[in-house]
């Protein structure tokens, strides 16, 4: 019973490291992987989610050991500022997770292993080498490359043949990386105040007015392209494009922190739908 309590406490600590990224990273990437693969057996679903979560944990632990003082002020429920784990132990966990992620990935295929290595390298560039606080263009590029590595590896894990993707799989990852590169500023508006305090140079900070004008055309452009490429029906396409328009207009019209948080939630609904479209094409058109 005592051992169970200890394991439960550790499991909760690990979960809290990733809690804030469940809806923004774990769910959208899982949906893309399952739709782009396609999945040949139900057992691949939890495997895929665990692979994504474990690598997300690696990233989040790395990120949350960089500036614990900031988290102590703004995000006190995180494991380090809340005292669930010491900073020293969190740093040890951060580097222990690297070989664990690599070993798990190598058990699937060499290609999944390469994705895991790429994620570890990009995590180090983004966090320890401070790309997150550098020029917004570099930050966007590293972000897009990181998500592409997440998606490439997780889509392989979700497949029966874990050594390569088909054309639809490659296109899914390519389109998603493009979306993140051109619209990632949607997640930065709500964090402008905190980013300013630690010297980050996000697009909303460098170009406050212009950056808000980039969301609508970016989302609309991708909506029309994906609707065409995945041969979406008129009703589904209208909902998808309409959601992009509503989200983009929200960022233009409302600019409070609370409004930007809501707009970001709506953006994630649109993003999740964008990630599901390869499944629409694969299961609808290929069945015809």
CATH of the domain at 157: 1.10.357.140
Quick one: 17 exposed, middle or buried, by C-beta within 10 A (0-12, 13-18, 19+)? Answer: buried
Give 205-250 as a DSSP string: HHSHHHHHHHHHHHHHHHHHHHHHHTT--HHHHHHHHHHHHHHHHH
The residue segments making up the domain with residue 275 are 187-198+206-288
Q: Is residue 174 part of a domain?
A: no
In a shared domain, residues 219 and 159: no
Within 10 A of 24 (CB to CB), how many other CB atoms are there?
A: 16
Q: Is residue 176 part of a domain?
A: no
In a shared domain, residues 5 and 44: yes
Q: pTM, whole model, 2 decimals?
A: 0.92
In a shared domain, residues 36 and 99: yes
CA distance 24 to 21: 5
CA distance 51 to 63: 19
Task: Report the pLDDT value the prediction gives residue 18, as an integer from 0 to 100.
Answer: 96
DSSP state for residue 67 in the 8-state scheme: -
Cα-based distances in Å from 135 to 126, 138, 142, 201, 251: 12, 5, 11, 6, 22
Cα-based distances in Å from 33 to 25, 129, 173, 197: 12, 29, 9, 36
Q: Is residue 30 part of a domain?
A: yes
Cα-based distances in Å from 288 to 116, 177, 228, 282: 36, 29, 18, 10
Task: Report the pLDDT value the prediction gives residue 200, as an integer from 0 to 100.
Answer: 79
Count of domains forming the chain: 2
Task: Report the pLDDT value the prediction gives residue 134, as an integer from 0 to 100.
Answer: 84
In a shared domain, residues 160 and 210: no
In a shared domain, residues 27 and 136: yes
Task: Report the pLDDT value the prediction gives residue 192, as an integer from 0 to 100.
Answer: 87
Q: Cβ distance 274 to 176 under 8 Å? A: yes
Cis peptide bond N-terminal to 242, omega within 30? no
Q: Is residue 34 part of a domain?
A: yes
CA distance 246 to 268: 13
Within 10 A of 235 (CB to CB), how many other CB atoms are there?
A: 8
Longest alpha-carbon distance in the chain: 57
In a shared domain, residues 24 and 142: yes
Task: Report the pLDDT value the prediction gives residue 62, as an integer from 0 to 100.
Answer: 96
Per-residue pLDDT of the chain (288 residues; tens, 9 = 90+): 667 788 889 899 999 999 989 988 999 999 999 999 987 788 899 999 999 999 999 999 999 998 777 666 567 788 998 889 999 999 999 999 999 999 999 999 999 999 999 999 999 999 999 898 888 899 999 999 999 999 999 999 999 999 999 999 999 999 999 999 999 999 999 888 877 877 778 899 999 999 999 999 999 999 999 999 999 999 999 999 999 999 999 999 998 989 999 999 999 999 999 999 999 998 776 644
In a shared domain, residues 214 and 73: no
């Amino acid at each position: 019973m005592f051992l169970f309590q200890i394991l439960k406490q550790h499991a909760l600590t690990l979960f809290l490291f990733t809690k804030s990224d469940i809806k923004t990273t774990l769910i959208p990437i899982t949906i893309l992987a399952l739709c782009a693969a396609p999945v040949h057996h139900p057992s691949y679903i939890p495997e895929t989610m665990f692979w994504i979560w474990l690598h997300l944990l690696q990233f989040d632990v790395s990120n949350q050991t960089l500036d614990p003082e900031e988290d102590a002020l703004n995000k006190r429920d995180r494991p380090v500022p809340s005292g669930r784990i010491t900073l020293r132990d969190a740093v040890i966990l951060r580097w222990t997770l690297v070989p664990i992620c690599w070993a798990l990935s190598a058990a699937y295929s060499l290609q999944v292993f390469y994705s895991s290595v790429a994620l570890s390298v990009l995590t180090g560039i983004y966090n320890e080498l401070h790309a997150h606080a550098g020029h917004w263009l570099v930050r966007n590029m590293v972000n897009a490359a990181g998500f592409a590595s997440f998606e490439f590896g997780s889509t392989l894990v979700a497949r029966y043949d874990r050594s390569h993707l088909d054309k639809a799989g490659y296109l899914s990852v390519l389109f998603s990386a493009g979306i993140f590169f051109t619209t990632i500023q949607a997640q930065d508006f709500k964090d402008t105040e905190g980013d300013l305090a630690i010297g980050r140079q996000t697009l909303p900070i460098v170009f406050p007015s212009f950056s808000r004008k980039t969301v609508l055309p970016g989302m609309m452009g991708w909506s029309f392209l994906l609707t065409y490429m995945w041969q979406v029906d008129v009703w589904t396409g209208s909902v998808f494009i309409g959601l992009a328009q509503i989200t983009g207009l929200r960022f233009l019209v409302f600019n409070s922190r609370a409004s930007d948080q809501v707009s970001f939630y709506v953006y994630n609904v649109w993003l999740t739908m964008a990630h599901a479209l390869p499944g629409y094409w694969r299961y609808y058109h290929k069945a015809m």
